Structure 1
Amino acid sequence: MESTQPTATDRALVAAGQRLTVKVPGTSANLGPGYDSLGLALSIYDTLTVETLSTGELEFELSGEGADSLPRDASHLVVRAVELALDRLGFRHSGLKIIADNVNPHGRGLGSSAAAVVAAVTVANAMVPAESRQDRDWILQLTSEMEGHPDNVAPAIFGGLALSWQDSEQYSSTRADVLTSVIPVVAVPDFELSTETARGLLPASVGHHAAAMNSGRAALLIHALTADPTLLLPGTEDYLHQSYRAQAMRPSADLIAALRSAGHAAVVSGAGPTVMVLANGADEAATITGLIDTFTAANTPEVGWRVMTLAVDVQGARVEVHRR
């Protein structure tokens, strides 16, 4: 029997002459005990602009992070994600001009690949006619499928604190508002660590006691972020992943230990090696940046660190569409 699945040429073309710009926040997943379930949107943004062409060509301009190493052709993650999203929506394009300005450091645990796929799928969804567009839950499904888990894509889409879970092939997320007094401080080292490498260091199972301890801390962390930031230090204690990954990012692990010993809620950001500290107020944030500078100068002089005081992004991905 012949297949009735439509071919690429059967799909409708999106209109040429559109210009769409999407701004996507970086993210920090896990936050200590919230392994593969908690994620926080951060005020560090990548910007993607896409113009639909009628020429059948692909033009790609790339600046900022990754400009010296990332491809500028159809193999780029953004191009692949745009085309997959259009295909799922029943459309195709006749040419694209893509302009990517990357601010989010790559391979550092701040959700750069999640930002790329969220930007691409959001743009693709905005390209199609209004009656064919899907909601943000559809974007969550597709981007989680591409990433393999929702913990980074969910806060990039929705902003704030994302609490995410999976049932079979269904991904879900709900959002919580973080207290404005909570200030994320990140220390980004000049070395990378791939998510695959970091995941490969984890054991196949952990003991019941560790699991129980971790679930209690994850629940406490949500309360600390949304109601009582004085509990951020105990709320960020992890029993599932950070200790196993420490060997792959020793400078980061040592910095976290020093900050936590001084009473500050330091964690590995995502798979690392970035260190994130959740400060309770501007005074603590200033103290943390000083401690990071002092500790790294004395203990890891061979590593370059970029320290940034950020905010929790509350909007998530936002897109502007201009049609001729």
Structure 2
Amino acid sequence: MTRVEDKTRVIVRVPATSGNVGPGFDCLGVALGLYNSFCFQSAPEFRIRVTGAEAVGLELGPDNLAYRSFCYLFTRLGLEIPTVALEADLQVPLARGLGSSATAIVGGLVAANTWAGEPVSPQTLVDWATQLEGHPDNVAPALLGGCQLSLAKQGSVVCMSLPWLEQVVPVAVVPAFGLSTAKARAVLPTVVPREDALFNSAHLGLLVAALEQGRTDWLTLALEDRLHQPYRAPLVPGMDQIMAVARAQGAYGVVLSGAGPTLLALTAPTRQEQVAQAMVEAWANLGIQAKAHILRVDTQGTQIER
């Protein structure tokens, strides 16, 4: 086994992501301006320390996802795994559909690749991250930034960067309850009606065209979905009602972020505050606390501090 030259430390900052984005089930995602940071530093013995808004209840042993992803790259390359102390600062809500697991996977892989002298290409990092995550819609924008349309086939991922309109602001409203991806996937059918598949194909095409051509007037229709949101709605109390409230306040459209339960409204800058407040109040009326994050689209993706 090849030994890797010791480094002092590597710090990686990874953005949150919203997967699916309406009709783009498992293939479309966008990076958002909310971040998790991971610092890997040489140490005499392995340890993990977690800080930040989402520090409670995380795995602090070798099963930690960021650490496992760090080790994965060294193992794939046949390199000796260095002994490190991992410090993670977590601001991305856990189990809320904002790509927290993708930040850990991408953060661990990119840190390991930097530590090893960058022997792995960005393409391979996307491929390996997808293998660890299971689908590319979160890991691709987390690594590359922006809005990414991704296609995974036979262990390789093709990513296409889509433009994001400056006049479309993402407003993520996060309720005070979690929803595991496993539970959200368990409610999905294994077979869908042909008309639903055709519906999503057409709406995804319209969404891509709307982003490419700057047609915000197409977004309300383009963001509709039949492959995952109708099945997951019962897991998110008041989802349809809150979506309707946001649209009434001027949002172009509202989608379930990833597997949920976060709802992501896309709106004009002039309506962002009203949309955010209305969604929070609508959830409060159902007895559920929620927090709104008025965000920007992160165009840089994962950033490294050597």
Please tell me the TM-score bracket, short chain as reference: over 0.9
2:2 aligned residue: 12
2:70 to 82, 97, 100: 82
Q: TM-score, normalised by structure 2?
A: 0.95
2:229 aligned residue: 242
Identity, in percent, stands at 34
1:294 to 281, 285, 293: 281
- In the TM superposition, residue 223 of structure 1 has moved relative to its aligned partner by 2.2
Q: Structure 2: which amino acid aligns with 1:13? A: R
2:288 aligned residue: 303
Q: How many pairs does the alignment contain?
A: 304
- In the TM superposition, residue 195 of structure 1 has moved relative to its aligned partner by 0.7
Distance in 2 (alpha carbons) for counterparts of 1:251 and 1:210: 23
Matched, 1:220 2:220: no
Matched, 1:47 2:37: yes
Q: Deviations over 1:256-304 (max 9, x none)?
A: 2333455520110000000000113x1121221232233233x32x211
Distance in 1 (alpha carbons) for counterparts of 2:189 and 2:249: 29
Structure 2 matches for 1:98-113, cutoff 5 A?
98-113=86-101
2:218 to 214, 231, 236: 231
State whether residues 26 and 156 of structure 1, in contact with CA within 8 Å, keep that contact through their aligned partners in structure 2. yes
Distance in 2 (alpha carbons) for counterparts of 1:254 and 1:194: 22
- In the TM superposition, residue 79 of structure 1 has moved relative to its aligned partner by 1.2
Q: TM-score, normalised by structure 1?
A: 0.90
2:164 to 173, 178, 198: 178
Q: Structure 1: which amino acid aligns with 2:3? A: L
Segments of 5+ residues of structure 1 without an aligned counterpart are 1-10
Matched, 1:140 2:126: yes
Q: Structure 1: which amino acid aligns with 2:122? A: R
1:283 aligned residue: 270
Segments of 5+ residues of structure 2 without an aligned counterpart are none
Matched, 1:157 2:157: no
State whether residues 46 and 103 of structure 1, in contact with CA within 8 Å, keep that contact through their aligned partners in structure 2. yes
Distance in 2 (alpha carbons) for counterparts of 1:295 and 1:221: 27
Distance in 1 (alpha carbons) for counterparts of 2:192 and 2:248: 25
State whether residues 83 and 92 of structure 1, in contact with CA within 8 Å, keep that contact through their aligned partners in structure 2. no
Structure with the greater alpha carbon radius of gyration: 1
Q: Deviations over 1:191-240 (max 9, x none)?
A: 00011111111112111111111111111112223322222111101111
Q: Structure 2: which amino acid aligns with 1:198? A: A
Matched, 1:259 2:246: yes
State the secondary structure of the residue aligned to 1:187. Answer: strand
